[in-house]
């Protein structure tokens, strides 16, 4: 979607506005909450006020700002979060656009030791019980079934295929069609 369209829709489940790059911690906690939610993705726009007014970021040194933002993401997220940072111009002002998506092999992310979950445009920390529940639903090693192939769409109740690796027996998730089995929800 066009950036202007995203801004016009306002903050929500997958969109967070931050008026300044100095609000980095809050922004990354919000990003953590968005990728941990079921939609598994989020976008943070730096240079937009919470009510959607485009104020632009401090244009001093956007290169080093992007570098330090990248560094904070790489150091703060566990496991490592794939992300993209872009600099865009909207209404003649500079915006820094940070977007990320949780691969389905990752049940949830922690930022600075905390697992956030977004609800609407707010966030809270996941409880221990919720983390367990998420692992059962999303983590293939914990998921009890049923399973669905991402290629042919076949559903199976149980996975019985195992392979021998140097670390011992391991479940395999390969379907005979060449696809992979993932938790069916």
For Zn ion, give the closer residue by CB, 94 or 173: 173
Q: Among 137, 179, 182, 183, which residue sits at the site for Zn ion (rule: CB under 5 A)? A: 179
- With binding defined as CB under 5 A, does residue 177 bind Zn ion? yes
Which of 1, 85, 102 minimizes the C-alpha distance to 47? 85
To which residue do tokens 């109740």 refer? 157
For Zn ion, give the closer residue by CB, 122 or 145: 145
How many residues form the binding site for Zn ion (CB under 5 A)?
Answer: 6
- With binding defined as CB under 5 A, does residue 155 bind Zn ion? no
Examine residue 146 and say whether the peptide bond preceding it is cis (omega within 30 degrees of 0).
yes
Helices 24-36 and 62-76, axial angle in degrees (round to 10)? 50
Q: Are 149 and 159 in contact (CB under 8 A)?
A: no
- With binding defined as CB under 5 A, does residue 149 bind Zn ion? yes
d(CA 80, CA 141): 19
For Zn ion, give the closer residue by CB, 38 or 174: 174
Q: Among 124, 151, 170, 171, which residue sits at the site for Zn ion (rule: CB under 5 A)? A: 151
Binding site for Zn ion (CB under 5 A): 149, 151-152, 175, 177, 179
């Amino acid at each position: 979607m066009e950036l202007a369209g995203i801004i016009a829709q306002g903050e929500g489940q997958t969109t967070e506005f931050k008026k300044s790059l100095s609000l980095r911690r809050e922004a990354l906690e919000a990003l953590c909450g968005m990728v941990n939610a079921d939609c598994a993705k989020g976008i943070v726009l730096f240079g937009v006020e919470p009510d959607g007014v485009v104020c632009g970021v401090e244009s001093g040194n956007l290169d080093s700002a992007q570098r330090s933002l990248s560094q904070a993401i790489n150091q703060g997220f566990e496991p490592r979060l794939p992300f993209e940072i872009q600099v865009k111009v909207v209404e003649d002002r500079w915006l820094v656009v940070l977007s990320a998506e949780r691969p389905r092999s990752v049940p949830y992310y922690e930022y600075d030791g905390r697992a956030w979950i977004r609800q609407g445009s707010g966030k809270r920390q996941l409880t221990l019980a919720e983390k367990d529940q998420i692992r059962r639903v999303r983590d293939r090693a914990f998921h009890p079934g049923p399973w669905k192939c991402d290629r042919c769409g076949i559903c199976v109740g149980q996975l019985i295929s195992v392979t021998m690796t140097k670390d011992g027996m391991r479940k395999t998730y390969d379907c005979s069609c060449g696809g992979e089995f993932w938790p069916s929800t």
